[in-house]
Structure 1
Amino acid sequence: MSIDRRLAELIPSPSREPTSLNGATFYALLAPGKRFRPMLTLLCAEAFGAPPGKAMDVACAMEMVHAASLILDDLPSMDDARMRRGRPTTHREFGEAQAILASVGLLNQAFASIAGAEALPLALRAQISGALAQAVGFHGLVAGQALDLQDRDRQRTPEEIDALNHQKTGVLMIAAAESGALIGGASPAACAEIGEFARRLGLAFQIRDDLIDAEDSTELAGKDTGKDAAMTTWVSAVGARKAAAAMEGHLDEAEAALVRAGCDGRLGRFARSLFMGRKAAA
């Protein structure tokens, strides 16, 4: 079963229940994208021997959280974005109220999907739910977005930028990857290396996003660009060439972590493929 097909099964269909809320939810969740985070979950589970499909509902939960965070990030009170994934943002298409409600609904459905993953032991479902809640909450995505909104005109060091990027992007990638590894039965040592792989991947991904924002058009990127001009990014702090070098350094460290975990094959190729084109992969 494909990720998109299972995502559509886990939320109310606007074709069966034609409400604005269901339409906004479907629009945000099933928007064109590479399904990066759920693929991390599925590939990490596969790398450690999980049978096909065992991690699917957890993978879909990761995409639900990501879609919910994008809806909120794009709101006028946040980043005030016009475009996302090559089309109008959810609030521009359905209004702010329906967009916010769709985000809340997706966030809750993510945890319901994990709770209902009957192929997994109850203790593992609880462990994954707790880790995902931490990734979303006051030390994760929420905290990262709040920090991003504060003092945007203040100059940040590369280390401070990485810390912000980790909260905005890395924590959910770590939750997605480690959840897959746990479902596959990875050892604690291997799970730690998978976490390091995802942390480095998240840092590289955000630098790539900074490069796209600084150098590409909205049409090429599929989302608004030039919105980070007033804040400190890797590109504004050290220049595009050094930023690209830092990105490559994180990718090298990510690959090294996979080698230590013993699963650098398909998973490593997938990670590298995300950086081959310039179009945003979120």
Structure 2
Amino acid sequence: MQDASAREPARWGEGLRFAFGTLSVLRVRVERWDRPTAGRAMTAAPVVGLTLGALAAGAGALVAWRAGGPLGAVTAVGVLAALTRGLHLDGLADVADGLGSGKPAEDALRIMKQSDIGPFGVLTLVLVLLAQIAALAGRFDASPAGGALAVLASATAARCALGWGCLRPVPAARPGGLGAMVAGTVPPAAAVAATAGSALLLAALGLLDGSSVLRLPLAVAVGLGCSWLLLRRCVRRFDGITGDVLGAMAETAATGTLVTLALMG
């Protein structure tokens, strides 16, 4: 019989498979589907961000090197959307429709669950994608490597936001769905550790590129702050989180990170 210390790496392996299986198109076998595993998955989500971000960053940098920053930016954003099946973008649009409806929580949640996208969702998607592409175009124009780091930072910030959205005090807005599975599963210390580890890695990568050690971590912190504000608004408005809220938090963190890097120059 395995003791707890021997079993712990296997548990985190199960959580990592859960994370890749739910947050990406990469084909992995999810062996456990329960709340403890979901908590480990949301804690390990930055690993997914680093992986998908590296793939998108490489594609964007290659296109930027050959065809210029704007096309490189479009490529990076498109690759990230493809690698997630547009999951987070769909959540962002649904949350925008729910918040924009002005209806009580139950009606707003029903609007968010519908398959179509309303005017608030369309407008939000257009503005967010334009902001991401414009911010990345400037980074890729300045340096393909700098643009690649911006993509990596934004993808990592997006997945760090998932852990903060699933903190133990945060309730689920409704009993079913991914939101109910992951809500309240992440201890605050785990979210802090995952974010700090991601920030340290990005700081080291920033040094290799010759930029400030604080540049990328600061941009990630601002992006996470933006997603936290959205979380507070959604919890007050919907009485908790859903999978759509987590997707909206991810896109908000990514956009906040990219816009901050653009403003830093």
Q: TM-score, normalised by structure 1?
A: 0.37
**Which protein is richer in helix relative to its size?**
2
Q: TM-score, normalised by structure 2?
A: 0.39
